[in-house]
Amino acid sequence: MKLLIDAGNTCIKWALVNRDEWLRNGVMPVEQAVDLPQVFPDCSDIPGTGLYDIQQVWVSNVAGEEVARHIRNIKVGQSASFNFIIAREMQCGVRNGYSNAGQLGSDRWAALIAAWHLVRGKCMVVNCGTAITIDTLSEEGKFLGGLILPGVDLMRRSLVAATSQLRLEQGSYARFPLNSADALFSGAIQACCGAIERQYALLDDDSVPVVLSGGAAGVLHKNLRLPLRVEDNLVLQGLLLIAQEAGA
């Protein structure tokens, strides 16, 4: 059995997987990483699915070394291996076009691998978390490059922190907002959607699918006029593919 962990800037997502079967999955705030050993549910209803039955832990971690330390402290079987992935020049059919392959974030790399195996062709991969990444794969599975920009919540928090008259209040999307809360929220939505649509326009091909994932995917997809494929846990999907290619 494998434990997959996607440690992002805001949340830690995890899944217990036995071969190709997803047994359990969940999410927790990254500031609660110290509690990781306690978050996994009792799987006694499924034979052979206790923590000590985990043979491998596969991790994408962009949350820093302290979170990595908490992950390594998870009490799994003594023979279990911890595998923290990094982007490579070539893996699982995807070729890395970054000028320095290892500088590409592990979350982006895993998401690209998952998207390639879902689409098997040219696509745009948009992961919407604390930051939004907008990456493109070629028809042959080469990573052509991508953008990093603040996510919806980060845009709102940053603007409130830098101004004296705005407060962080719950807003709703409106095409022409008539209050500050809606204006702040709608502005962030428009900025994120605008960046995604502008990057998509550079492809000059309206048939290319957009694989959309992340916590803000539900907010953004309602306002994007693109051929979308919304996928949960894209990074975890990529981790499983990486583990499988490694023969794990």
Give the active site residues: 107
Coil, strand or helix at 27? strand
* Residue 229 neighbours by CB distance under 10 Å: 16
Q: Is 78 helix (H, G, I), strand (E, B) or coil?
A: coil
Q: Find, among 117, 34, 17, the residue nearest to 68 by Cα.
A: 34
Q: Helix or strand or coil: residue 128?
A: strand
Q: Which of 4, 9, 3 is nearest to 214 (CA)?
A: 9
The contacts of residue 213 (CB under 8 Å, 6+ apart) are 111, 125, 126, 127, 128, 230, 231, 232, 233, 234, 235
**Measured between alpha carbons, how far is 193 from 172 in angstroms, rounded to an integer?**
15
Q: What is the C-alpha to C-alpha distance for residues 168 and 185, in angstroms, rounded to an integer?
A: 9
Spatial strand order of the sheet with 210-213 comes to 143-150, 131-137, 123-128, 210-213, 228-230
Task: Please give the DSSP secondary-structure letter assigned to residue 42.
Answer: P
Sorted by sequence, the CB contacts under 8 Å of residue 243 that are 6+ apart come out as 2, 4, 56, 58, 83
